[in-house]
Structure 1
Amino acid sequence: MAPAGSLIKWQDGPAVDMDFPKHFILQALSVLLLAWVLVHCQTPIAPKEEEEEESIDCPLECRCTAEGAVDCAGVDLTEFPEELSNKTRQLSLQNNKIKEIRVEHISHLHQLETLNLQNNCLTTDGLEDEGFEMCEQLAYLYLANNKLTSAPKVLPPSLVSADFAANQLTRIYPYTFGHKPKLRSVYLHNNKLTDAGLPDHMFNDSDNLEIITMSSNFLRVVPNNLPSSLYRLHLKNNKLEKIPAGTFDNLQNLREMYLQNNLLTNEGMDNETFSQLSSLECLDLSNNNLSVVPKGLPRNLMLLHLEKNYIHSIPGDALNSVRNLEYLLLHNNKLRSRSIHPAAFQGLKKLHTLHMYNNLLERVPRGLPRRAKTLMLLHNSISEIGRNDLALLYTLTELNLSYNKLTSPKIHREAFRKLRMLEILDLSGNALHRVPQGLPRSLQLLEIKNNQLNSIPDGSLTGMEKLQKLILSDNHLKLNSVYQGAWMELSALTTLDLSGNQLTHIPSDLPESLEYLYLQSNRISSVSASAFEGTPNIRGIFLRFNRLSVESVDESSFAHLSNLQVLDCGTGNTDLPLKKDEMEGDKMVEEEQET
């Protein structure tokens, strides 16, 4: 213990006289401790979020976040917002009425990464080039749907994606999109660009560019010196007449090219035009002026779209190189069966979809691809199907022969014998008098509407245990046109459409699986109590435009149908009221008919 009268010096504290009583010493220490707490612990500390928010200058009409995002979209701004923080990283100004951007507006935004100005009123005169050049971090620039007539002369090398679509651009400059090592995508569609408005090396040193869209302009020649990194090229809806030799030779990475809706002819390209595109998978040349399927197509092509040309022939070697082709679309052309070489499709082992509708085919072409699954031959002039015309199409699942000139005597009874995987067959819009014999038992949908059917011969539906929908509307069928028990054989049938025929009664022996029965526009005059005894699962019955009256309909015929949702027998019958459930079913009727 310290001697009497001495002082004790506490660390970082005052000296204490030990002659004082102990309780005075303790009181003094308590006071000193309280004072220290008041000085050091009562100063308020602002929350971290508030400090960060105070560092962001946010325009009155906008919303800002601490991460540097400023959202001023769709607030009817007529001028560029002032006093933006130099920490702004994303600036959204789309859907306003901004007319100009001066250098001082954005020159201080050195951290800006995304600038969205689409759907404004910007003009070239109101856009000062130097401003964008000072945005050293700018990666995404959206200026679509403005009134620009020429692109900015210089954009920063940090640019990753630029969207100038739907302006009035007539001119691009070498440093607009050139010398941009990070640039990935450029959108210039829906402008007024011509060949004269493009520099020779508009993408020079932009060696990572993957997507270019220049559709809906006024280009007559495919731009040259396209970057080798290109993945997708859109040039549809231009005035392209010619593809200069070697234009695509360095595009080893190109996978999709869209050249539809132009003026291209076979003379405007050569046999090597597409041959070097080793990665090309999709080529769209539809709606041009081609007269022959072009040669020299790349091996890896998977989809070739040639719709709406003037193609009248397919040479035997035109498609030899495209061993990986899966989709070949040749509809809306001038093809005749005799102008298609028998070996035209030889070797196309992966081709599964072939569209040849709206041509001038007089019969099923020879040598069709053996692996085909979908074959569309509707709207031609095919008048017969021979025994072997379809014999090699073992894998076919959908065949459409509607709206041709087929007659019953001209369809061989064994024409469909090999189609053991066929699920959908459409023979509508021909001149058939009877349902063809020998239809595949694998069918799930059979459509023979709008013919002249007056007979369903004995056994023609036998074995069709997978058939779910049978469409026989708009024919001349009567009750005695159908062999006894025909409907009962269709054990999976859910939809039976017999509308627009000459039936006088509800067909008997309907299958138990039936859910929708279309009988409108017939001559049915009564509904018996037993009419629907065998169809407990039925959901919709359509009987409009018949000869029914209140007295001729036995209400008990519907009493046991617990799943019935639509009973439509109002309009077009005699003195038969339209019930509530019928009115609710009107919309469903229309939707079902459209389907």
Structure 2
Amino acid sequence: SPPQWLGVLQLLLLLLVDPPTTSTEDPAFPHLGDSSQPPPRACPWRCSCPRADTVDCAGLDLKVFPDNITKAVRHLSLQNNQLQELPYNKLSRLSGLQTLDLHSNLISSEGLPDEAFESLTQLEHFYVAHNKLTVAPQFLPRSLRVADLAANEVVEVFPLTFAEKPLLRSVYLHNNQLSNTGLPPNTFRGSEAITTLSLSSNQLSRLPPGLPASLEQLHLQDNLISKVPRGALSRQTQLRELYLQHNQLTDSGLDVTTFSKLHSLEYLDLSHNLLATVPAGLPRTLAVLHLGRNCIRQVDAARLRVARGLRYLLLQHNELGASGLPAGALQPLRSLHTLHLYGNRLQRVPPTMPRRLRALIMPHNRVAALGARDLASTRGLVELNLAYNHLASARVHPRAFRRLRTLRSLDLAGNQLSRLPAGLPTSLHELRLQHNHLRALEPEMLAGLDQLRELSLAHNQLRVGDIGPGTWHELQALQVLDLSHNELSFVPPDLPEALEELHLQGNRISHVGSEAFVSTPHLRALFLRTNRLHMTSISAEAFLGLVHLRMVDTADNPEQVLVQLPPTAPLQPRG
């Protein structure tokens, strides 16, 4: 049973909310009868009341609606509790509520009385996401601005749940169980201020009719939509973002008018559908078009020509083959910044691409050769990713990269290169060549790369004797060098002075001499795990002078190797 003082406290709090009309002196609580001092503001037990109009009872594992909530409350938070129902008589008396947060409770539709909302005529923000609602409340006040019913079990929305709400701007219904029959045609009638509507992760098979013309963001991803009815988006001229990914859209489910009236559309996501072609009727305003994970075999230049403002085109994981991107298909896209072609069947770099292209991302294709002029039309590239293709050194022309004078990142990992490509751009900051067949490093191939900061040569076949003298001299800015999983028997000498991170794990190193790191005074992290080191393999003087060294990883060697760092090093090594 509760202690006696709890009953006394509850009685006191009740008196503070609704004091008796006849004032009497009480020696125990003199302020109750003293008209010269205002009574202290009441607050429900365990809750906090940072302002006179705010009651915060969040995260208290409450199972019943708290008593003693002042009628003056405007903002009430009950989120992250275990409430199953809201008593009508307690909720309806809070007629001045503007914010009601019931997020993450156990409230069912039966536990949320419709009648209570009739008195909440000033309610603007209503949050009841992550509960157990099966139907939406039948009546919500006209004052509503934000309604969040996401992550419930809602199967039905009533005609007046969201209709006739002239101030309503945001509605969140994602992660429910709504089908088209659960959304009446007039669901949003008279609510023409809604800018954000989220219906993602439901069971809709087509676009709902009667969507507000005021929409700016429409989320319909993760449904069962196979068709957009003609005219379904004809009024949404202010729509800027449309999310239709992870549906069942086919070419026959769209037509030339589907998107043509969306004169403000900037972002369109149609990824993870069943499209075989680029949709027709794309708006001129489009900046991002996501078509990844479809069944597109060929890009029709005429369909892209209209969207001349396109900046990001994502076509990864389609079925684009040798003729999938005809010459000039992308050339009209004069503003194109990034082109994603990851995971197709392309056998060469697309010819005659837009001159303003800055990023070409096409790993996991079948590109086997790079000619002298294959990249001639993309002189402004900053990032080029050709990882995991079929490139062999003999088929990479010495002048393939000659025109790329602004290139900063080049990824050629996972190919069949036996030597470094010639003519690498001197502007490079990152060069990735892991998972190739490199057997030698020649200084002339790295000449001029004085801006290179990261170099990955992991998972090749390099030995120390195959690294030519002076190889590292040009790399004065190199900070990260990955030589892991090669065939090195000791630490390569004369490493770049600016080096901060050195990966040597997975080699054959059995000894680290006293002068191994004399050329790298700025070293911060060293990885030596999975080599052939023993307790006495590392010279005690090897790390002298490395005042920035914070971590040496020597795990998974034949014997446990303990490293004594200089006393000026701030952290101890792990190994």
Measure how far apart 1:362 and its partner are: 1.5
Residues 1:45 and 1:560: Cα distance change in structure 2 (over 3 Å): same
Aligned equivalents of 1:255, 1:313: Cα separation in 2: 27
Partner of 1:422 in structure 2? Answer: 407
Residues 1:198 and 1:382: Cα distance change in structure 2 (over 3 Å): same
Aligned length: 539
Measure how far apart 1:561 and its partner are: 3.1
Aligned equivalents of 1:435, 1:254: Cα separation in 2: 49
Letter in 2 for 1:578: L
Partner of 1:6 in structure 2? Answer: none
- Does 1:577 pair with 2:567? no
Partner of 1:521 in structure 2? Answer: 506
Provide structure 2 residue ranges, at least 5 long, that are not aligned to the other structure.
1-32
Equivalent position to 2:285, from 289, 296, 300: 300
Alpha-carbon displacement from aligned partner over 1:541-564 (angstroms, at most 9, x marks no partner)? 333344445666443343333333
Residues 1:239 and 1:569: Cα distance change in structure 2 (over 3 Å): closer
Aligned equivalents of 1:118, 1:292: Cα separation in 2: 42
Letter in 1 for 2:110: D
Residues 1:324 and 1:46: Cα distance change in structure 2 (over 3 Å): farther
Measure how far apart 1:580 and its partner are: 5.5
Aligned equivalents of 2:87, 2:512: Cα separation in 1: 80
Equivalent position to 2:479, from 470, 481, 494: 494
Does the 8 A contact of 2:170 with 2:196 survive in 1?
Answer: yes
Q: What SS is found at the alignment partner of 1:91?
A: strand
Residues 1:454 and 1:131: Cα distance change in structure 2 (over 3 Å): same
Partner of 2:352 in structure 1? Answer: 367
Does the 8 A contact of 1:337 with 1:365 survive in 2?
Answer: no
Partner of 1:162 in structure 2? Answer: 147
Residues 1:509 and 1:116: Cα distance change in structure 2 (over 3 Å): closer
- Does 1:463 pair with 2:483? no
Alpha-carbon displacement from aligned partner over 1:138-171 (angstroms, at most 9, x marks no partner)? 1111111222111122111111111111111111
User: TM-score under structure 2 normalisation?
Assistant: 0.88
Aligned equivalents of 2:302, 2:434: Cα separation in 1: 39
Measure how far apart 1:356 and its partner are: 0.7
Measure how far apart 1:568 and its partner are: 4.0
Letter in 1 for 2:36: A
Partner of 1:475 in structure 2? Answer: 460
Aligned equivalents of 2:40, 2:538: Cα separation in 1: 79
Alpha-carbon displacement from aligned partner over 1:453-504 (angstroms, at most 9, x marks no partner)? 1122451111111111111111111233233211112111122222222223
Does the 8 A contact of 2:138 with 2:157 survive in 1?
Answer: yes
Letter in 2 for 1:442: S
Partner of 1:405 in structure 2? Answer: 390
- Does 1:390 pair with 2:375? yes
After TM superposition, the structure 1 = structure 2 runs for residues 220-231 of structure 1, keeping only pairs within 5 Å, are: 220-231=205-216
Provide structure 1 residue ranges, at least 5 long, that are not aligned to the other structure.
1-42, 588-595
After TM superposition, the structure 1 = structure 2 runs for residues 80-95 of structure 1, keeping only pairs within 5 Å, are: 80-82=65-67, 84-95=69-80
Letter in 1 for 2:254: M
Write 1 or 2 for the structure with the bigger share of helix: 1
- Does 1:354 pair with 2:346? no
Partner of 1:452 in structure 2? Answer: 437
Partner of 2:523 in structure 1? Answer: 538
Aligned equivalents of 1:337, 1:513: Cα separation in 2: 44
Aligned equivalents of 2:532, 2:67: Cα separation in 1: 76
Residues 1:586 and 1:432: Cα distance change in structure 2 (over 3 Å): farther
Aligned equivalents of 2:479, 2:73: Cα separation in 1: 62
Q: What SS is found at the alignment partner of 2:302?
A: coil
After TM superposition, the structure 1 = structure 2 runs for residues 21-420 of structure 1, keeping only pairs within 5 Å, are: 46-47=36-37, 50-51=38-39, 53=41, 58-64=43-49, 67-82=52-67, 84-420=69-405
Measure how far apart 1:528 and its partner are: 3.8
Does the 8 A contact of 2:218 with 2:242 survive in 1?
Answer: yes
Letter in 2 for 1:355: H
Q: Which moved more, 1:272-281 or 1:451-460?
A: 451-460
Measure how far apart 1:249 and its partner are: 1.0
Measure how far apart 1:264 and its partner are: 0.8
Aligned equivalents of 1:529, 1:109: Cα separation in 2: 77
Does the 8 A contact of 1:426 with 1:446 survive in 2?
Answer: yes
Aligned equivalents of 1:78, 1:477: Cα separation in 2: 66
Q: What SS is found at the alignment partner of 1:317?
A: helix
Does the 8 A contact of 2:159 with 2:186 survive in 1?
Answer: yes
Partner of 1:556 in structure 2? Answer: 541
Measure how far apart 1:452 and its partner are: 0.7
Residues 1:223 and 1:465: Cα distance change in structure 2 (over 3 Å): same
Partner of 1:18 in structure 2? Answer: none
Partner of 1:40 in structure 2? Answer: none
Aligned equivalents of 1:504, 1:312: Cα separation in 2: 49
Letter in 1 for 2:544: A
Letter in 2 for 1:194: S
Residues 1:548 and 1:212: Cα distance change in structure 2 (over 3 Å): closer
Residues 1:430 and 1:110: Cα distance change in structure 2 (over 3 Å): same
Q: What SS is found at the alignment partner of 2:323?
A: helix
Does the 8 A contact of 2:168 with 2:191 survive in 1?
Answer: yes
Alpha-carbon displacement from aligned partner over 1:374-400 (angstroms, at most 9, x marks no partner)? 111111111111111111111111111
Residues 1:408 and 1:69: Cα distance change in structure 2 (over 3 Å): same
Residues 1:150 and 1:569: Cα distance change in structure 2 (over 3 Å): closer
Does the 8 A contact of 1:136 with 1:158 survive in 2?
Answer: yes
Q: Which moved more, 1:560-569 or 1:276-285?
A: 560-569
Q: What SS is found at the alignment partner of 1:304?
A: strand
Letter in 2 for 1:536: P
Alpha-carbon displacement from aligned partner over 1:200-252 (angstroms, at most 9, x marks no partner)? 11100111111111111100010111111111111111110100011111111
Does the 8 A contact of 2:318 with 2:343 survive in 1?
Answer: yes
Letter in 2 for 1:366: P
Residues 1:539 and 1:318: Cα distance change in structure 2 (over 3 Å): same
Does the 8 A contact of 2:315 with 2:340 survive in 1?
Answer: yes
Aligned equivalents of 1:496, 1:71: Cα separation in 2: 53
Q: What SS is found at the alignment partner of 1:541?
A: strand
Residues 1:108 and 1:517: Cα distance change in structure 2 (over 3 Å): closer
Measure how far apart 1:304 and its partner are: 1.0
Q: What SS is found at the alignment partner of 1:459?
A: helix
Letter in 2 for 1:437: A
Does the 8 A contact of 2:535 with 2:562 survive in 1?
Answer: no
Letter in 2 for 1:108: R
User: TM-score under structure 1 normalisation?
Assistant: 0.86
Does the 8 A contact of 1:570 with 1:579 survive in 2?
Answer: no
Alpha-carbon displacement from aligned partner over 1:337-385 (angstroms, at most 9, x marks no partner)? 4121222212212211111111111211222222111111111111111
Aligned equivalents of 1:358, 1:309: Cα separation in 2: 12
Q: What SS is found at the alignment partner of 1:381?
A: coil
Residues 1:66 and 1:326: Cα distance change in structure 2 (over 3 Å): closer
